[in-house]
Amino acid sequence: MALVELNRITKRYGDLTVLNDVSLAVEKGEIIAVLGRSGSGKSTMLRCINGLENIQGGEIIVDGVKVNDPATDLRSLRQRVGIVFQSFNLFPHLSVADNITLAPRIVKGKDPRAARELARDVLQRVGLEDKLDAYPDQLSGGQQQRVAIARSLAMHPQVMLFDEVTSALDPELTGEVLKVLEAMAKEGMTMILVTHEIGFARRFGSRVVFMHQGQIWEEGAAAATLASPRTRELETFLSAVLH
């Protein structure tokens, strides 16, 4: 059984259909790069997967749990589905360690000492263990984004969702964040990334999903699909991103 399954999901805001009959299955350890123009439904799809948005049709199953079932404990589900956004969403008044350990302490009842060790461990994974007691405003954008990734990793998720995590960063800082994603890919973390980083998608993606007008327009093995798109829409999109 797939780790993440979307079965014919529909998402509307009023009269606007943002996702139209979208189906996708993601196996454990896969890295899915989701491409598409602004407004194609990519970010909405991620938010539906971890229950931040309700759907109007179809079903989403993550690790055997039906996300859109009213009986589902979404708080518990979100421990297994990490999501990192374009804006880092760190609490400015909390240190890096406190930002990372807030959820493990409150949700999992970790004691402060164990929580601090956990923070040190996940910061090491993103190359920032010397920033344990720093505050967000003392960090660069790339460092803040890496802390946001560490915060998600602290919950030991089964799958990580990334929504354009490098789009607010300059090229040098983007490189820092992509290094962290590469390390996670090599460790076998299941990831669904909405991204414009075509090079990353080509090298590390298991599959590419190209979204257009709220639907999955094209899907296939990453390297082959990016080398020779089957649809005019993906070809046009790639030439716009790569030039």
Q: Give how many domains the chain has, as a whole number.
A: 1
- For residue 57, is it within any domain? yes
Residue 110 CB contacts under 8 Å (≥ 6 apart), including other chains: 101, 104, 118
pLDDT 10s digits, 41-92: 999 999 999 999 999 999 999 999 999 999 999 888 888 899 999 888 899 9
Residues facing residue 161 across a β-bridge: 83, 192
- For residue 111, is it within any domain? no
Q: State percent of the chain over pLDDT 70.
A: 100
- For residue 185, is it within any domain? yes
Q: State percent of the chain over pLDDT 90.
A: 76
- For residue 202, is it within any domain? yes
29/15 Cα distance (integer angstroms): 37
- pTM score: 0.93
- Residue numbers of the domain that contains 224: 4-89+158-242
Q: Which amino acid is at 177?
A: V
CATH code assigned at 45: 3.40.50.300
* Cβ proximity of 201 and 208 under 8 Å: yes
- For residue 21, is it within any domain? yes
Q: Which ranges in the chain belong to alpha helices (H)?
A: 42-49, 74-80, 96-108, 112-125, 141-153, 171-186, 198-204, 222-227, 232-242
- Listed residue (167, 174, 168, 185) closest to 222, CA to CA: 185
29/161 Cα distance (integer angstroms): 13
- For residue 58, is it within any domain? yes
pLDDT 10s digits, 45-55: 999 999 999 99
108/91 Cα distance (integer angstroms): 19
Cα radius of gyration rounded to whole Å, the chain: 18
- For residue 104, is it within any domain? no
- For residue 109, is it within any domain? no
pLDDT 10s digits, 169-189: 888 888 889 999 999 998 999
